[in-house]
Amino acid sequence: MTERHTPRVVPLLDQRSAVLSTPTAAFAAASRIGATGLLSDQRGRPLRDLRISVTDRCNFRCNYCMPKEVFDKDHLYLPHSDLLSFEEITRLTKVFVAHGVQKIRLTGGEPLLRKNIERLIEQLATLRTVEGRALDLTLTTNGSLLARKARSLKAAGLQRVTVSLDGLDDAVFRSMNDVDFPVADVLAGIDAARVAGLGPIKINMVVKRGSNEHEILPMARHFRGSGIVLRFIEYMDVGASNGWRMNEVMPSSEVVQRIHAELPLLQLEPSRPGETAERWGYADASGRHDPQLGEIGVISSVTQAFCGDCNRARLSTEGKLYLCLFASQGYDLRALLRADASQADLESAIGHIWQARSDNYSESRGAQGADSAPAQRRVEMSYIGG
């Protein structure tokens, strides 16, 4: 493809939904930004982590994410032609990596529902960071198809998986996923991932007060000493369809207290900058951390904002770039791709977008003390991925 040197004007803001009532905006690539791996936003945050949603569909109906009443048989999913192809995803990922991304997480919807996802993983696994290292290539899944797919995912080049699991009790789990899916099948998927070498495995448990908080201790007991890191996530006011209320959020501090009362914990140092989870290690009889017993993580997205370190970008199923989980607008990179943009065009567009970023939703929500989600329409988690 030939390089273009004349300034281009490409509409970039999301026009997907009339309800979003996005103003038409234009992006002019008048001043070029090349990829140096050193991009920084308005708050001095680098771009290190890219989450790619590969489908907006899911076979579960977790009520905190895709409640049945909203995501029913009449819900309109994206037509296949609107989805980024694997080649398009890989092309964009190359640009993000040139700007400094080191970690890629495939998500959704349920990413294992995307046909031939292994082919995408094969392509992404060939990419190298600016420093020449392999990418940290991972995937978040509800685990329902993992028993079947763990080996082929590993063979394609996936390094590890995070499995979402909101309880061990079969009745609780079936009611959380709301499609009567048995917990035993997800546990079999986790075992298959372990056997295939897709580790270190992480488990995500969203704690929703009044629904599954009595599963905190059984989950902690089950995964303690297993080599698997269990992470408790505060129920977030993401999207617009889950009817979020503050009184359904169990603060991470309470989760830690509950576990600590039976299984003593001590706080560990973060393993890297920008880490979203606070780490707590299980203690031995002498009160020191016992690595054999392992650790848990708590992700306090509601009670303790971590925007200051947020180095994550999100690419939606149809190629919109979102700078924050709580954004209402995305930048249409697919339009650029399909308008035959060169590598330099893409680098410059993404560079401009990241440099202008100043998002800090959780910090400002904390400052306002909100107890219910604001009325403004926001994108759904299943559309941009977790």
Which residue of 27, 96, 173, 361 would you call a contact of ligand SF4, by CB under 6 A?
361
Q: Which x/- pattern over 278-317 shows residues binding ligand SF4 (rule: CB under 6 A)?
A: ----------------------------xx--x-x-----
Which of the choices ligand SF4, ligand SAM, none does residue 233 contact, using the CB cut-off of 5 to 8 A by kind? ligand SAM
Do the Cβ atoms of 357 and 41 come closer than 8 Å? Answer: yes
DSSP secondary structure string, 51-103?
EEE--S--S---TTTS-TTTSSTT--PPPGGGSPPHHHHHHHHHHHHHTT--E
Q: In angstroms, what CA-CA distances link 240 with 206, 237, 261?
A: 17, 8, 36
Asked if residue 382 binds ligand SF4 (CB under 6 A), the reply is: yes
User: Which CB atom, from 93 or from 317, has the smaller least distance to ligand SAM?
Assistant: 317
Which of the choices ligand SAM, ligand SF4, none does residue 236 contact, using the CB cut-off of 5 to 8 A by kind? ligand SAM
> Considering CB under 6 A, how many residues would be counted as binding ligand SAM?
21
Asked if residue 153 binds ligand SAM (CB under 6 A), the reply is: no
Which of the choices ligand SAM, ligand SF4, none does residue 385 contact, using the CB cut-off of 5 to 8 A by kind? ligand SAM
Asked if residue 181 binds ligand SF4 (CB under 6 A), the reply is: no
Shortest Cβ distance from residue 330 to ligand SF4 (Å)?
A: 13
Asked if residue 142 binds ligand SAM (CB under 6 A), the reply is: yes
Asked if residue 385 binds ligand SAM (CB under 6 A), the reply is: yes
User: Which CB atom, from 65 or from 228, has the smaller least distance to ligand SF4?
Assistant: 65
Q: How far apart are CA 57 and CA 76, in angstroms?
A: 10
Asked if residue 62 binds ligand SF4 (CB under 6 A), the reply is: yes
- Classify residue 294 as left (phi > 0), alpha (psi -120 to 50) or beta: left
DSSP state of 375: S
In the range 62-91, which residues lie near ligand SAM by CB under 6 A?
64-65
Asked if residue 212 binds ligand SAM (CB under 6 A), the reply is: no
Q: How far apart are CA 382 and CA 113, in angstroms?
A: 13
User: Which CB atom, from 61 or from 352, has the smaller least distance to ligand SAM?
Assistant: 61
Q: How far apart are CA 95 and CA 103, in angstroms?
A: 13
DSSP E strands in the chain: the ranges are 9-11, 26-28, 49-53, 103-107, 136-141, 160-164, 202-207, 229-234, 265-267, 278-282, 295-299, 312-315, 320-322, 331-332
H runs (alpha helix) in 102-223? 117-125, 146-156, 170-177, 183-196, 216-223
Q: Which x/- pattern over 220-239 shows residues binding ligand SAM (rule: CB under 6 A)?
A: -------------x-xx-x-
Asked if residue 107 binds ligand SAM (CB under 6 A), the reply is: yes
Which of the choices ligand SF4, ligand SAM, none does residue 66 contact, using the CB cut-off of 5 to 8 A by kind? ligand SF4
Asked if residue 110 binds ligand SAM (CB under 6 A), the reply is: yes
Instruction: Say whether 302 sits in a helix, a strand or coil.
Output: coil
Do the Cβ atoms of 296 and 232 come closer than 8 Å? Answer: yes
Which residue of 142, 159, 242, 300 would you call a contact of ligand SF4, by CB under 6 A?
142
Q: How far apart are CA 287 and CA 29, in angstroms?
A: 58
User: Which CB atom, from 71 or from 282, has the smaller least distance to ligand SF4?
Assistant: 71
Buried/exposed 277-314: b ≥16 CB within 10 Å, e otherwise? bbbbbbbeeeeebeeebbbbbbbbbbbbbbbebbbbbb
Shortest Cβ distance from residue 351 to ligand SAM (Å)?
A: 28
Asked if residue 77 binds ligand SF4 (CB under 6 A), the reply is: no
Which of the choices ligand SAM, ligand SF4, none does residue 361 contact, using the CB cut-off of 5 to 8 A by kind? ligand SF4
Which of the choices ligand SF4, ligand SAM, none does residue 55 contact, using the CB cut-off of 5 to 8 A by kind? none
Instruction: Say whether 117 sits in a helix, a strand or coil.
Output: helix
Residue with smallest beta-carbon separation from ligand SAM: 386
Do the Cβ atoms of 95 and 347 come closer than 8 Å? Answer: yes
Which of the choices ligand SF4, ligand SAM, none does residue 159 contact, using the CB cut-off of 5 to 8 A by kind? none
Do the Cβ atoms of 22 and 15 come closer than 8 Å? Answer: yes
- The dihedral through the CA atoms of 17, 23, 24, 25 has a sign that is negative
In the range 242-271, which residues lie near ligand SAM by CB under 6 A?
242
Kindly list the residues in this chain that would bind ligand SAM in the complex (CB under 6 A).
58, 64-65, 107-108, 110, 140-142, 164, 204, 206, 233, 235-236, 238, 242, 381-382, 385-386
